[in-house]
Amino acid sequence: MDNNAILNVAHLNIKFGGIIALKDINFHVPRASITALIGPNGAGKTTVFNCLTGFYKGGPGSKLTLSSKNKSNNLVEMLGEGFKLQDFINPPAFVKRIYFKMFGGTHLVCRAGLARTFQNNRLFEEMSVVENLLVAQHMSLEKSLLKGVFQTKDYLESQERALDKAHDWLKFFKLDKRANDIAGELPYGEQKRLEIARAMCTSPELLCLDEPAAGLNPAESAELSELIIRLRDEHRISVLIIEHDMHLVMKIADHIVVLNYGEVLFDGTPAEVRNSSKVIDAYLGKE
């Protein structure tokens, strides 16, 4: 286990019925760096994301540790892991388990500092661009009903802070002219950027991007890679990115994990990956 890593994935495995989608995945994401997760279609990349964010539950033995917000978060426990034998002789652990079973879930992973985007855009299409970003800041907004109805000073202040933050990220992603447009009516490239901006509004330390450049033209793709690099350098965000565009991956990644048939095939720097015969075989097919 690497102590400088923001995310440690150990022995992650998952089955769907009889199909083993992931078996014993081990890798880590170093802090403030860009890690790419690549592999052929159906390799299980999106499934890794879904396990990390709790949309799927990893099988027994999976360990996911997110070291963020100055503490070490056990993601599997947060997502409401099943009871273990030792819980029944340890009341505090038992209570904790019940708590996470009832109130745990994906939202806690996000609050712990891991934000993600989706392979197919999942914007709030009928809401405006700013509103999309405000929803992402739900946790830091003043939510008291009475304060909101009477528009007290701290309610308005918290709303203004949220709007400031939203506009900062809109500027960063070059969407500031679009603030009051309906999200579903933006061009595809801008929707992709908006989804990343929305994820950034949750103040994450680790950002997981699922094929952010898919469907973009070369110019947009280059612009996007620029932005991801700036996220790492200016905002010290750790990025885990799934991408098929090898050109982009080789340009921005500090570290590449290659998946194939639900297993880690190779783990190394871009130069190492490029020269690995295993990876080339997996991509081009042997014989």
40 vs 148 by CB, closer to ligand ADP: 40
Q: Which stretch binds ligand ADP (CB under 6 A): 35-43, 83-91, 158-166, 264-272?
A: 35-43
Residue 45 within binding range of another protein, rule CB under 8 A? no
Residue 136 within binding range of another protein, rule CB under 8 A? yes
Q: Which stretch binds ligand ADP (CB under 6 A): 16-24, 155-163, 227-235, 247-255?
A: 16-24
Binding-site size, Mg ion (CB under 5 A): 2
CB of 163 to another protein, least distance (A): 4
| Cα-only R_g, the chain | 20
119 vs 159 by CB, closer to Mg ion: 119
Binding-site size, another protein (CB under 8 A): 47
Reduce the secondary structure of the chain to three states and give it as a string: CCCCEEEEEEEEEEEECCEEEEEEEEEEEECCCEEEEECCCCCCHHHHHHHHCCCCCCCCCCEEEEEECCEEEEHHHHCCCCCCHHHHHCHHHHHHHHHHHHHCCHHHHHHCCEEECCCCCCCCCCCEHHHHHHHHCHHHCCCCHHHHHCCCHHHHHHHHHHHHHHHHHHHHCCCHHHCCCEHHHCCHHHHHHHHHHHHHCCCCCEEEEECCCCCCCHHHHHHHHHHHHHHHHHHCCEEEEECCCHHHHHHHCCEEEEEECCEEEEEECHHHHHHCHHHHHHHHCCC
Q: 22-51 mask for Mg ion (x: CB under 5 A)?
A: ------------------------x-----
46 vs 67 by CB, closer to Mg ion: 46
Q: Which stretch binds another protein (CB under 8 A): 6-14, 26-34, 117-125, 240-248?
A: 117-125
Q: 252-271: which residues touch another protein (CB under 8 A)?
A: none
Residue 79 within binding range of another protein, rule CB under 8 A? no
Residues belonging to the chain? 287
53 vs 65 by CB, closer to another protein: 53
149 vs 284 by CB, closer to another protein: 149
CB of 209 to another protein, least distance (A): 12
79 vs 248 by CB, closer to another protein: 79
